[in-house]
Amino acid sequence: MAGASSDHSTAKLWALIGGIASVLSILTWLGVSNAAELKDLLADSPPSSSSPAPYTSSPTVHTPDSPGISEGNTDDSGPEPSTPTPDPTEEAFKAISAGDCLAVHDTGRGGTTSIDWNVDVPPDPVSCAGEQAQVQVTATDTACPTSYGKSYWSYQSATTGNTTKLCLTRVYHADYCLLGQQSGDSISLGLMTAVACRREPVPVPYNQIMHITGVYRAPAGANANNCRRVAGDQTRYWATLVDDGAMLLCTTIYQGG
């Protein structure tokens, strides 16, 4: 029994020596000469294939929802809006304010149903106290009254499509002239017109040049008799209430040369 035990111990020893020799042979083949190098080798070894490497997804680019955020140098602002070409006529209309007076009148060439202004563009304002003032602007860009001695002047811009309107009240001066349409003893005045005080052809349907003899504050029940300038005055007058009935406009048929 003792001999068998001795033989078994001897076999185990030879097996251990053989295992050590195999390990040393493997280390020699790997180029490892000591324990420190073996430790470094084990530290640098890749993970076992049984432990898969963690999956890394490709980066995803998200488009921001906010219009104030942009990716990189992308410019989403688009082209600069073009500035429309100015309309000088529209600017001239817009430069006129309520209270301004203008040297503007109806030529009469539009007949009794429409107005033909003597200029296409509003001129610079003039003094309302001077004799050049022929209309006064009472309002802008609103509905304008169209009674005796009141009208309007509007302009629609082909550039902007906007309409500018000037509400006008006629300013009358004694010794100036305007156009009239006579039928029998009745004469209708072109209250927005103005014409030189001289005998010359007038635009149809007008057939008279009327001379303004006076502009007065209208008394109650005013009529042509209130136009007489001196006692016994036998002049034939045609009287018209203007400025919403507040003023009396007295005229005669122009008899000058």
- Span 68-103, pLDDT tens digits: 444 445 555 666 767 778 899 999 999 999 999 999
Residue 200 has pLDDT above 70, yes or no: yes
- The better pLDDT of the pair 257, 124 is held by 124
Q: Where are the domains of the chain?
A: 87-171, 173-257
Using one digit for the tens of pLDDT, what is the confidence trace for 140-185?
A: 999 999 889 999 999 999 999 999 999 999 999 999 999 999 999 9
- R_g over Cα of the chain: 54
CB contact set of 132 (below 8 Å; sequence gap of 6+): 103, 126
Provide the pLDDT for residue 24: 56
Residue 44 has pLDDT above 60, yes or no: no
Provide the pLDDT for residue 31: 58
DSSP 106: B
Provide the pLDDT for residue 72: 47
Provide the pLDDT for residue 63: 39
Provide the pLDDT for residue 43: 55
Q: What are phi and psi of 172, to 5 degrees?
A: -105, 145
Q: How far is 116 from 159, CA to CA, in rounded Å?
A: 23
- The better pLDDT of the pair 91, 2 is held by 91
Tokens of 189: 């005045």
CA triple 216-218-219, angle to 5 deg: 125
Residue with the two structure tokens 């122009």: 254
Residue 59 has pLDDT above 60, yes or no: no
State the alpha helices, DSSP H only, in 45-94.
Answer: 88-94
Q: What is this structure's pTM?
A: 0.67
